[in-house]
Amino acid sequence: MVDEDVVVDRLELINQYSNECKKMRNVSRDEYLEDIVLQRAVERSLMNAIQSCIDLASHIRANENLGTAETSREEIEALVEADIIATETGAKLAEAVGFRNHLAHRYGDVDHDLVYDVLQDDLEWIDRFQQEIATWFRAR
């Protein structure tokens, strides 16, 4: 059975990291590209938000007996297949897993223009994920 404390804790963390990102949106691209400290803060907040989503997906998958998962993407796919999150949300989160891996492991150089674009235009999926999990949890 899913542990309510874990769900609430993870949702709060995801919200915290998402809000941190949103607060850092108010800079121009040039300011962002020139500020390595801001770049690192954005990258870390994005990585933490994505990892918290993965951790929550893993907890739900395991405790709802939704099969096994060997990768983070499989954790997310299990939630989609169980109709806990929407297909579109799952696809965006799966894409974000690859993005997190790139940031965390520094595969090549980080494309700071891309990170800036994600910060500005591609965070709504985090809010959708939170809402869909909360809706599913309340309906149980």
- Split at pLDDT 50, 70, 90, the class of 140 is confident
- Split at pLDDT 50, 70, 90, the class of 104 is confident
Spans of all domains in the chain? 4-139
pLDDT at 27: 96
> Average of pLDDT values for 6-29?
96
Answer whether residue 134 shows pLDDT above 90.
yes
Q: What is the pTM of this model?
A: 0.93
CATH number listed for the domain at residues 4-139: 1.20.120.580
Q: What's the rounded Cα separation, in Å, for the pair 34 and 105? A: 22
